[in-house]
Amino acid sequence: MMIDIGPLSDIPRQGARVVKTPHGCVAVFRTATDQVFAIDDACPHKGGPLSEGIVHGTSVTCPLHSWVFDLNTGMAQGADEGTVATYAVMVEDGRILLDAAWLRERSAA
């Protein structure tokens, strides 16, 4: 099942949108080249809102302590250790679709 979270044009290039779910917030990012990624919105270091971070290439820098996360893998880059969950997301007919399978998996746990 896919959740339609809105048109791609609603997210500025190098920006993000937060999707609130029963299991926490997901940050959906749009890169300068219109790639779309979805990860947990909270940095594992101090809970910083990654959706408010700086998007550069396919990475985002946490606004609190400058941890950098790869949007493809959710892994922190450099000397910092930590990861955030990533979620399947796609653009179809100009609409951003988030795969909701992970919601069902978390509900069953």
Domain total in the chain:
1
Cut 0.85: pTM above it = yes
* Domain span including residue 99: 2-108
Q: Is 74 helix (H, G, I), strand (E, B) or coil?
A: coil
CATH for 18:
2.102.10.10
> What are the tens digits of pLDDT across the range 13-39?
999 999 998 888 999 999 999 999 999
Mean pLDDT score, 67-92: 91
Q: Is 13 exposed, middle or buried (0-12, 13-18, 19+ CB in 10 A)?
A: exposed
Please report, rounded to a whole number, the percentage of residues in the chain having pLDDT higher than 90: 76
Average pLDDT over residues 38-51: 94
Percent of residues, the chain, with pLDDT higher than 70: 91
For 44-72, what is the mean pLDDT? Answer: 95
Q: What phi-psi label fits residue 70: left (phi over 0), alpha (psi between -120 and 50 degrees) or beta?
A: beta
Amino acid identity for residue 40 in this structure:
D
